[in-house]
Chain A
Amino acid sequence: MSAYHVVIIGGGATGAALAHDLTLRGVQVTLVERGEVTSGTTGRHHGLLHSGARYAVKDPESARECIQENTILRRIAPGSFELNDGLFVAITDEDLAYYDDFMEGCAATGIPTRTLSREEALRLEPNLNPDLKLAVQVPDGTMDAMRLPLRFLATAKHNGARILPFHRVTGLRFHGRTVVGVQGRDLVRNRDFTLDADLVVNAAGPWAEQIARMADVDVPVVPSPGVLVAVYGRWTNMVINRLHRAGDGDIVVPQRTLSVIGTSSWVVDDPDHLDVPEEHIRLMYEKGAEMIPALAHAPMRAAWAAARPLVGSRQAQSGRELSRTFKVFDHAEEGVEGFVTIVGGKATTARAMAEVTADLVVRKLGLDAPCRTREVVLLPHTAYYA
């Protein structure tokens, strides 16, 4: 283990995967998170293990990342997924007209597909809208939004990383314009804490801009919430997507005994102020029922919102126009040494985000340590608390 100490701000999927990656490369890691781990955006996502097909036409970079990571995650996190695959269903002629573009996009980005007739699709999923024209099977899956990142954290912890939930960062420590640590409040003991660091990574997701401001630098992150609605009943076994350009209420992810309908998309300034507009809940029901009619009458278990940390211009209107890919910022380019920010991405691509970020971190520290997270099988999620 090297003497280098890296502090990661943010205990979401990105921070968790990065803690794991850096620990494997022999770096000492301390992760600080203001609440419980995964209590920000990470825990609240759909629970979709992306095949990438959702982005195959409009956002091929993101699609390629998704299918690669999908394959890697199945290998390093066995037992963490409902192996159910996904269907893209064409309900209208307009959907059908999108089929060729979709198949072309999937082929170009390396996403395996299998086209099913209406009858084949209904045999697999009897609750689908019987008017459907055809369906395409892709390797989507269901994950547990909290338990997958817990596996990264459990493994990191086992390998020596320190995970500090309920530690709110209130400022960065500087030596000149070089970041040399963090300071904040330990909310378990109600006292201040400071941590020295050779390098600080800002992995605060939609809060990344608030952290970056502590170093007087700017990161172009757009907190873009979406509403999700969980209804009682498992109306399909597979993930059901609408075969068209990604839009509102076009995906239903079965999870445990629930079905999760998502999502909408808008843009906010403060990721701590997330409403769940009543009309968005209605929209989820309405659009979901176009694919699975029984959803219209399924009792609601919960409706909630999560803020995606999208990379892009704050002039964005809805967030739909922004890519789901990710970006690493070395703030040395703005004159602040010892400080790196990672934003964007998805839970499915967290490992890849961590790899790219850790590559930069070890390069800046002058270490020669390759990434090993593609091979190392993760500990079970229960090992995080046990």
Chain B
Amino acid sequence: MSTVTLRVFRFKQGDAAPHYDTFTVTAGPRTTVLEALQAVRRDQDPSLILRHSCHHASCGTCGMRVNGHEVLACVTPLADLGPVVTVEPLQNAPLVADLVVDMHPFYATFTQAGMPLVRTSDNLAGSHPAPGIETLTRFENCLECGLCLSACPVVATDPLYLGPAAMAAAWRVVQEPRGADPAQALAWVDQEHGCWRCHLAFECSTVCPNDVQPGQAIAALRQRLVQGEPAPPRPRPAAAEPAPSPARAARRGLRAWFDPRGRDVGYWAFVLHRVTGLALVFYLVLHLWVLRLLARGPQAWDDFIALARSPLFLALDGVLLFGILFHGLNGLRVALVGLGRGAARHKALFWALMAVLVVALLVGVAALVAVVHGA
């Protein structure tokens, strides 16, 4: 048994601001975050509220952020998380109280995809439906937990965005219509706040507890729309119905675009893409300003050449080169994956392009140094 300090997010309707309470709990090797929170509620603070139901990652109710990561508390062992564990509600959803968020906005969008709960697919290779059963069926993988919405940087800023869970559901309808209309599902995602809005951070797929892979589903929807049969006339903006205002207020906002702490590589690439993009714009402005100085005459030119040969300036050239290479190469990945090419291996593609970046950067820096020293 080990002792763990839980730092738990607390808020009740009517409170001016949230705060954190700390509780000390003991944890065995199998104790989950959910069990620890239940023990806190039972023994220390009966006013603590949280959602839970099945206790085996099937219902999707106990989604929360533990040390900044979206998880299902019922399958997250406490012992692996260090001596102090911070527990917070999901982001990008209206807060009810403590660790409870309102699932209304999630379902309001999710249900529009029209995905039936039971899928018809062969589950076990080599087995056959029993007599009296026409097809093998099982529940869909999506647990409707909302972890993907909490983790998505686009959901954080766009209140009309359909979001990863709903679009993964739409892709399931396209794959396996089961009475629903795949053309309608395609038309539904083919809109400004639909699949084209995704920025391929793939954080949805990283946090998904049941392998739904919403990121890949969105890429597949795009591919289908690009290649596919002509989409039927778009229904009037069913999805463009604004989410209720508390939902908007609860969104994490632009901070999510520049804060990749604890996130997977796709999210880091997303953030770095924005940072390098902004930096390149800044550089171009700076560049124009320097050109204006050069126009003053030969003395200005000579001064500039001296400056350009300084180690600091060369280092900045290296940084510039990195920015150009990263933005260009990652942009290539975004363009490819965004159209469905290589979505299943987006991480491998990223690292391959980063290898190209490293080689190109080394060659580029060597060339810069050679130019200066050779002169």
Stretch from A90-98, A182-190, A328-336, A360-368 contacting the other chain: A182-190
Please, which residues of chain B bring their CB within 8 A of the CB of A123?
127-128
Quick one: which of A38, A83, A114, A147 contacts B137, CB cutoff 8 A? A83
Contact: A385 with B104, CB < 8 Å?
A: yes
Quick one: which of B74, B116, B140 contacts A304, CB cutoff 8 A? B74
Contact: B56 with A304, CB < 8 Å?
A: yes
Please, which residues of chain B bring their CB within 8 A of the CB of A39?
51-53, 61
Closest beta carbon of chain A to B98's beta carbon, Å: 8
Q: Which residue on B lies nearest to A85, using beta carbons? A: B130
Task: Please report the C-alpha to C-alpha distance between residue A237 and residue B127 in the assembled complex, in whole angstroms.
Answer: 8
Contact: B107 with A386, CB < 8 Å?
A: yes
Please, which residues of chain B bring their CB within 8 A of the CB of A43?
52-55, 59, 61
Contact with A along B104-129 (1 / 0, CB 8 A): 10111011000011100001101111
Quick one: which of B49, B51, B104 contacts A386, CB cutoff 8 A? B104
Q: Which residue on A lies nearest to B124, using beta carbons? A: A237
Quick one: which of A125, A166, A302 contacts B55, CB cutoff 8 A? A302
Total A-B pairs in contact (CB under 8 Å)? Answer: 176
Closest beta carbon of chain A to B233's beta carbon, Å: 26
Contact: A235 with B139, CB < 8 Å?
A: no
Query: Does A137 belong to the interface (CB within 8 Å)?
Result: yes
Please, which residues of chain A bring their CB within 8 A of the CB of B49?
35, 166, 187-188
Please, which residues of chain A bring their CB within 8 A of the CB of B108?
386
Number of interface residues of B (CB under 8 A): 55
Number of interface residues of A (CB under 8 A): 61
Task: Please report the C-alpha to C-alpha distance between residue A382 and residue B128 in the assembled complex, in whole angstroms.
Answer: 31
Contact: A82 with B56, CB < 8 Å?
A: no
Task: Please report the C-alpha to C-alpha distance between residue A238 and residue B210 in the assembled complex, in whole angstroms.
Answer: 21
Contact: B111 with A237, CB < 8 Å?
A: no
Query: Does B141 belong to the interface (CB within 8 Å)?
Result: yes
Quick one: which of B103, B111, B127 contacts A125, CB cutoff 8 A? B127
Quick one: which of A79, A82, A235, A255 contacts B124, CB cutoff 8 A? A235
Contact: B97 with A237, CB < 8 Å?
A: no
Please, which residues of chain A bring their CB within 8 A of the CB of B107?
382, 385-386
Please, which residues of chain A bring their CB within 8 A of the CB of B97?
166, 187-190
Please, which residues of chain B bring their CB within 8 A of the CB of A146?
53-54, 59, 61
Q: Which residue on B lies nearest to A122, using beta carbons? A: B127
Contact: B111 with A386, CB < 8 Å?
A: yes
Contact: A385 with B106, CB < 8 Å?
A: yes
Query: Does B374 belong to the interface (CB within 8 Å)?
Result: no
Contact: B58 with A36, CB < 8 Å?
A: no
Query: Does B136 belong to the interface (CB within 8 Å)?
Result: yes
Known contacts being A144-B58, A145-B59, A276-B30, is A124 close to B130, with CB within 8 Å? yes
Contact: B139 with A385, CB < 8 Å?
A: no
Closest beta carbon of chain B to A12's beta carbon, Å: 10
Chain B CB within 10 Å, residue with most, of A42, A47, A257, A273: A257
Query: Does A68 belong to the interface (CB within 8 Å)?
Result: no
Q: Which residue on A lies nearest to B143, using beta carbons? A: A256
Please, which residues of chain B bring their CB within 8 A of the CB of A189?
12-14, 97
Query: Does B66 belong to the interface (CB within 8 Å)?
Result: no
Query: Does B225 belong to the interface (CB within 8 Å)?
Result: no
Please, which residues of chain A bring their CB within 8 A of the CB of B269?
none
Contact: B138 with A256, CB < 8 Å?
A: yes
Please, which residues of chain B bring their CB within 8 A of the CB of A304?
55-56, 74
Contact: A228 with B124, CB < 8 Å?
A: no
Closest beta carbon of chain A to B22's beta carbon, Å: 19
Query: Does B19 belong to the interface (CB within 8 Å)?
Result: no
Please, which residues of chain B bring their CB within 8 A of the CB of A25?
none
Closest beta carbon of chain A to B102's beta carbon, Å: 8
Contact: A301 with B56, CB < 8 Å?
A: yes
Residues 179-217 (chain A) with a chain B CB within 8 angstroms = 185, 187-190
Chain A CB within 10 Å, residue with most, of B104, B116, B123: B123
Quick one: which of B46, B50, B51, B55 contacts A44, CB cutoff 8 A? B55
Query: Does A254 belong to the interface (CB within 8 Å)?
Result: yes
Contact: A145 with B30, CB < 8 Å?
A: no
Closest beta carbon of chain B to A283's beta carbon, Å: 15
Query: Does A269 belong to the interface (CB within 8 Å)?
Result: no
Task: Please report the C-alpha to C-alpha distance between residue A320 and residue B28 in the assembled complex, in whole angstroms.
Answer: 29
Quick one: which of A137, A147, A235, A278 contacts B130, CB cutoff 8 A? A137
Query: Does B375 belong to the interface (CB within 8 Å)?
Result: no
Query: Does B96 belong to the interface (CB within 8 Å)?
Result: yes
Chain A CB within 10 Å, residue with most, of B52, B56, B97, B108: B56
Please, which residues of chain B bring their CB within 8 A of the CB of A174?
none
Query: Does A104 belong to the interface (CB within 8 Å)?
Result: no
Contact with B along A306-334 (1 / 0, CB 8 A): 10000000000000000000000000000
Query: Does B42 belong to the interface (CB within 8 Å)?
Result: yes
Task: Please report the C-alpha to C-alpha distance between residue A185 and residue B12 in the assembled complex, in whole angstroms.
Answer: 13
Please, which residues of chain A bring their CB within 8 A of the CB of B106?
385
Q: Which residue on B lies nearest to A386, using beta carbons? A: B107
Task: Please report the C-alpha to C-alpha distance between residue A255 and residue B100 in the assembled complex, in whole angstroms.
Answer: 26
Task: Please report the C-alpha to C-alpha distance between residue A147 and residue B144 in the assembled complex, in whole angstroms.
Answer: 11
Please, which residues of chain B bring their CB within 8 A of the CB of A35?
49-52
Known contacts being A189-B12, A236-B124, is A84 close to B133, with CB within 8 Å? yes
Please, which residues of chain A bring their CB within 8 A of the CB of B311?
none
Closest beta carbon of chain B to A353's beta carbon, Å: 19
Query: Does A129 belong to the interface (CB within 8 Å)?
Result: no
Please, which residues of chain B bring their CB within 8 A of the CB of A124?
127-130
Task: Please report the C-alpha to C-alpha distance between residue A85 and residue B140 in the assembled complex, in whole angstroms.
Answer: 18
Closest beta carbon of chain B to A49's beta carbon, Å: 12
Query: Does A168 belong to the interface (CB within 8 Å)?
Result: yes
Contact: A84 with B137, CB < 8 Å?
A: yes
Quick one: which of B50, B74, B137 contacts A82, CB cutoff 8 A? B137
Known contacts being A144-B58, A144-B59, A385-B103, is A188 close to B139, with CB within 8 Å? no
Q: Which residue on B lies nearest to A235, using beta carbons? A: B124
Interface residues of B (CB under 8 A from A): 12-14, 30, 32, 38, 42, 46-47, 49-59, 61, 74-75, 96-97, 100, 103-104, 106-108, 110-111, 116-118, 123-124, 126-133, 136-141, 144, 210-211
8 interchain pairs, CB-CB under 8 A: A36-B52, A124-B128, A126-B126, A137-B130, A137-B131, A187-B12, A238-B130, A303-B30
Interface residues of A (CB under 8 A from B): 35-36, 38-39, 42-44, 47, 79-85, 114, 123-127, 137, 142, 144-147, 166, 168, 185, 187-190, 228, 230, 234-238, 254-258, 260, 272-273, 276, 278, 301-304, 306, 380-382, 385-386
- Nearest 9 A/B pairs, CB to CB: A43-B53, A302-B56, A304-B55, A386-B107, A230-B56, A36-B51, A146-B59, A190-B12, A385-B103
Known: A166-B100, A256-B139. 19 other contacts (CB 8 A): A43-B54, A44-B55, A82-B138, A83-B118, A84-B130, A84-B137, A85-B130, A85-B133, A123-B127, A124-B129, A144-B59, A187-B12, A234-B123, A257-B211, A258-B57, A302-B57, A380-B111, A382-B107, A382-B144
